[in-house]
C-alpha cells in the first residue's frame, strides 16, 4: 500500500530522485488501492499527478440560487395517473429542460425511497471493504462486465481525479451474476429492474417531446444497453488542487444519477456553473451526446463536473448510462427531425465507432459530438 513517504503521495515534498510522473502513475495503478487507499495510508498532501493546472481547477466559491436553474419535474401525473392532460404537461416540462440546460431532476418517479437508500449504502459498502477484497476486481479492461478502477482515463488525462469507481454492466447482464460483489449484488440487481422501467418511461416522454411516437427511441434500443458506475469520492486533503470528476459530457443517450447529500455536482450553463443538489428521493437526469445527435440538437448534452470532496464524509453517487443495445446499427439525426430548412448537423455512424472515439479521448471537456459534426 502507498504510504505518506512514497513518491506517489508527495504533492510538494522533496526527494533525492527527480519526480517521474509516468512511474508514479504506474505505481499507483499497480497498487490497486485507489484513492481511498491513499487516504487510508494517512497522506496529508495529494500526489503530484492528481494536481490540475490552475486554469483547469474548480472554483469553489458558492453560487447562491444557482440550483433553481435545474428544473425539478414531478412525474406523479405519469406514474400514478397517466391522463393525456397530465402527460402533456410533463412532456412540455421535460422538453423545455432537455432543449435548454440539458439537465433536470425528477421526483415521484415510482422508485421507493428505501430502494434509493439501499443502492447508495451498498455501493458505499463495496468501496469501504478492505483493499485486498476490492483489488480482486481491479482491472483496466472490464472483460467480465464488473470491475473496480480509479480513473478510467488515468494514463491519458492531464491529471487524475480524486475518486474510485465500481463499474457493472447491467444489460446485457454479466454472464455470471456471482461476479457482482456480494456486498451489493442484490441491491444492484433490484436497481437495474427499477431503472429499466424508469428508462422506458423517460424515453417515451422524450420521444413525445420531439414530436415523435412514444415508442420511437425504444425501437432504437436506447434502453437496452445499461452500464452502472458507482463513484466513491473520499475526503480530499487539498480540494483546491484537483477535481472529483473532470469536465465532460456523457457519450450515451441518457444518464440517470442517484447522488447522496454531500453535493459537488455542477453543470455548465453558458459561462456559469450550476450547483446540483438533490432533494430526498430525487434523481438527476441528463441528456447524452448520442441523444443530442439523434435529435439534431433539439436536445442538448451539457458539460458537467464534480468538485473534489472537502467534506469529512465520503461522497457516493450511482449513475446508469442508457445506451443502444444494437452496436452495429447506424445512428445519426432522425429523418423525421430533418428537412431542407433544418438539414442534418451530424453524419451517420455505428455505436462501436462512436464509443471507440470516446475512449480514445480523455475526460477533458471537449465535446465528442465535434468528431461527428458535418
pLDDT tens, position by position, 191-214: 999 999 999 999 999 999 999 999
For 69-79, the pLDDT digits (tens) are 899 999 998 99
**For residue 330, how many other CB atoms are within 10 A of its CB?**
10
**Is the pTM value of this prediction over 0.85?**
yes
Cα–Cα distance measured from residue 276 to residue 251, given in angstroms and rounded to the nearest whole number? 20
Return the C-alpha cell found at 18.
Answer: 527527480
Question: What pLDDT band is residue 245 in, cutting at 50, 70 and 90?
Answer: very high
Question: What pLDDT band is residue 64 in, cutting at 50, 70 and 90?
Answer: low
pLDDT: is 187 or 357 the higher one? 187
Return the C-alpha cell found at 171.
Answer: 444489460
264 contacts 359 by C-beta, under 8 angstroms: no
Short-list 345, 338, 321, CA closest to 211: 338
The pLDDT, as a whole number, for residue 14 is 47
Cα–Cα distance measured from residue 211 to residue 193, given in angstroms and rounded to the nearest whole number? 28
- Residue with the three cell numbers 454479466: 174
- Residue with the three cell numbers 440550483: 67
The pLDDT, as a whole number, for residue 56 is 74
Cα–Cα distance measured from residue 169 to residue 184, given in angstroms and rounded to the nearest whole number? 14
Average pLDDT of span 134-140:
95
Regarding beta strands 225-233 and 164-171, do their DSSP bridges make them parallel or antiparallel, or are they unpaired? antiparallel
Query: What are the b/e assignments for 277-293, b being 16+ CB within 10 Å?
Result: bbeebbbbbbbbbbbbb
Cα–Cα distance measured from residue 80 to residue 90, given in angstroms and rounded to the nearest whole number? 13
* Opening angle at CA 24, ends 18 and 28, nearest 5: 160
The pLDDT, as a whole number, for residue 291 is 97
Paired with 233 in beta bridges are 315
Q: Is it true that the peptide bond before 305 is cis, omega within 30 degrees of 0?
A: no
Return the C-alpha cell found at 179.
Answer: 461476479
* Domains along the chain with CATH numbers: 7-372 (2.60.120.330)
Cα–Cα distance measured from residue 119 to residue 103, given in angstroms and rounded to the nearest whole number? 22
% of residues, the chain, pLDDT over 90: 78
Average pLDDT of span 279-285:
96
Residue 219: HSE in the Cβ half-sphere, 13 Å Cα cutoff: 7
For 337-368, the pLDDT digits (tens) are 999 999 999 999 998 898 888 777 655 555 78
Q: Is the pLDDT of residue 2 over 50?
A: no
Per-residue HEC secondary structure of the chain comes to: CCCCCCHHHCCCCCCCCCCCHHHHHHHHHHHCCHHHHHHHCCCCCCCHHHCCCHHHCCCCCCCCCHHHHCCEEECHHHHCCCCHHHHHHHHHHHHHHHCCCCEEEEECCCCCHHHHHHHHHHHHHHHCCCHHHHHHHECCCCCCCEEEECCCCCCCCCCCCCCEEEEEEEECCCCCHHHCCCCCHHHHHHHHHHHHHHHHHHHHHHHHHCCCCCCHHHHCCCCCEEEEEEEEECCCCCCCCCEEEEEECCCCCEEEEEECCCCCEEEEECCEEEECCCCCCCEEEEECHHHHHHCCCCCCCCCEEEECCCCCCCEEEEEEEEECCCCCCEECCCHHHCCCCCCCCECCEEHHHHHHHHHCCCCCCCCHHHHHEC
Q: How far apart are the first and last CA of the chain?
A: 49
Q: Is the pLDDT of residue 10 over 80?
A: no
Q: Is the pLDDT of residue 175 over 80?
A: yes
Amino acid at each position: 500500500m502507498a504510504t505518506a513517504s512514497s513518491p506517489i503521495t508527495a504533492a510538494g515534498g522533496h526527494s533525492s530522485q527527480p519526480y517521474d510522473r509516468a512511474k508514479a502513475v504506474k505505481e499507483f495503478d499497480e497498487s490497486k488501492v485507489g484513492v481511498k487507499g491513499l487516504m487510508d495510508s494517512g497522506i496529508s498532501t495529494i500526489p503530484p499527478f492528481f494536481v490540475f493546472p490552475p486554469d483547469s481547477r474548480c472554483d469553489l466559491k458558492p453560487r447562491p440560487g444557482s440550483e433553481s436553474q435545474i428544473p425539478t419535474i414531478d412525474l406523479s401525473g405519469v406514474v400514478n395517473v397517466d391522463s393525456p392532460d397530465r402527460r402533456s404537461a410533463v412532456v412540455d416540462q421535460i422538453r423545455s429542460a432537455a432543449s435548454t440546460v440539458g439537465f433536470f431532476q425528477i421526483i415521484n418517479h415510482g422508485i421507493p425511497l428505501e430502494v434509493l437508500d439501499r443502492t447508495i449504502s451498498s455501493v458505499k459498502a463495496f468501496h469501504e471493504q478492505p483493499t485486498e477484497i476490492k483489488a480482486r476486481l481491479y482491472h483496466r479492461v472490464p472483460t467480465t462486465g464488473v470491475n473496480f478502477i480509479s480513473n478510467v482515463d488515468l494514463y491519458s488525462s492531464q491529471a487524475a481525479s480524486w475518486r474510485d469507481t465500481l463499474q457493472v454492466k447491467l444489460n446485457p447482464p454479466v454472464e455470471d451474476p456471482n461476479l457482482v460483489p456480494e456486498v451489493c449484488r442484490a441491491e444492484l440487481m433490484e436497481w437495474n429492474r427499477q431503472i429499466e422501467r424508469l428508462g422506458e418511461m423517460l424515453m417515451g416522454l422524450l420521444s413525445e417531446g420531439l414530436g415523435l411516437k412514444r415508442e420511437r427511441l425504444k425501437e432504437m434500443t436506447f434502453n437496452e444497453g445499461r452500464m452502472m458506475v458507482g463513484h466513491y469520492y473520499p475526503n480530499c486533503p487539498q480540494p483546491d488542487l484537483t477535481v472529483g470528476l473532470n469536465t465532460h459530457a456523457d457519450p450515451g443517450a441518457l444518464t440517470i444519477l442517484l447522488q447522496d447529500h454531500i453535493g459537488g455536482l455542477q453543470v455548465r450553463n453558458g459561462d456559469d456553473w450550476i450547483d446540483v443538489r438533490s432533494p430526498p428521493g430525487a434523481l438527476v437526469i441528463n441528456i447524452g451526446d448520442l441523444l443530442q445527435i439523434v435529435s439534431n440538437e433539439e436536445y442538448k448534452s451539457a458539460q458537467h463536473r464534480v468538485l473534489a470532496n472537502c467534506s469529512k464524509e465520503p461522497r457516493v453517487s450511482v449513475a446508469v448510462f442508457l445506451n443502444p443495445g444494437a452496436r452495429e446499427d447506424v445512428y445519426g439525426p432522425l429523418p423525421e427531425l430533418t428537412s431542407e430548412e433544418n438539414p442534418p448537423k451530424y453524419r451517420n455512424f455505428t455505436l462501436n465507432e462512436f464509443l471507440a472515439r470516446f475512449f480514445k479521448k480523455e475526460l477533458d471537456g471537449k465535446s465528442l459530438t465535434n468528431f461527428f459534426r458535418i
